[in-house]
């Protein structure tokens, strides 16, 4: 029964079960299609399994589809090995103990750190820019206020001078 299951690797992230059914159904009746999903990303891991009714159909699929392209990516199609199937069926190791999970978690952690650092730098730059803009605005306002004060003083002086001249003439 195991010789009816093929492994399909190198799949693009947009590939679905329906994509695999459409690609492999010309070679025989498909009993089951499985794409293993990463529990962290909720996306398939880039490989899947297709089970045919007959081993001849699986052989035909391998002969015709290995090194072909699906969505622009070259795929690898082989007869699924028993040890591979057992590993994926009976995965007894806790997810967080696996090396793949550790590497993935480390990548995410590093990415988050970089995002936080980038965000801090952006905030500091924005704060500096806002401070500079505020200072420039304050300087402009101060100049405008000073100009207004000068105008008022000048107007008062002119008014006072005008009144004095009128008094002298009378």
Per-residue pLDDT of 95-152, as tens digits, reads 444 455 455 555 555 665 666 666 666 666 666 667 667 767 777 776 776 677 666 7
44 near 15, Cβ under 8 Å?
yes
Beta bridge partners of 7: 49, 78
pLDDT at res. 15: 96
Average pLDDT over residues 55-81: 95
Chain centroid offset of residue 28 CA: 38
pLDDT at res. 128: 66
Most confident range, picked from 72-76, 98-102, 122-126, 159-163: 72-76
Within 10 Å of residue 80's Cβ, how many Cβ atoms? 19
């Amino acid at each position: 029964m195991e010789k009816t299951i093929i492994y399909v690797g190198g799949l693009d992230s947009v590939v679905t079960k329906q994509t695999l059914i459409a690609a492999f159904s010309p070679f025989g009746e498909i009993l089951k299609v499985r794409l293993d999903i990463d529990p962290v990303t909720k996306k398939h891991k880039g490989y899947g399994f297709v089970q045919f009714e007959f081993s001849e159909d699986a052989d035909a699929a391998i002969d015709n589809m290995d090194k072909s392209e699906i969505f622009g990516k070259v795929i690898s199609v082989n007869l699924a090995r028993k040890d591979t199937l057992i590993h994926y069926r009976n995965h007894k190791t806790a997810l967080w103990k696996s090396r793949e999970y550790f590497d993935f978690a480390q990548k995410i952690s590093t990415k988050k750190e970089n995002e936080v650092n980038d965000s801090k730098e952006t905030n500091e730059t924005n704060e500096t820019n806002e401070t500079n803009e505020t200072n420039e605005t304050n300087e402009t306002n101060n100049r405008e206020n000073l100009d207004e004060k000068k105008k008022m003083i000048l107007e008062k002086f002119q008014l006072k001078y005008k009144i004095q001249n009128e008094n002298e003439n009378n």
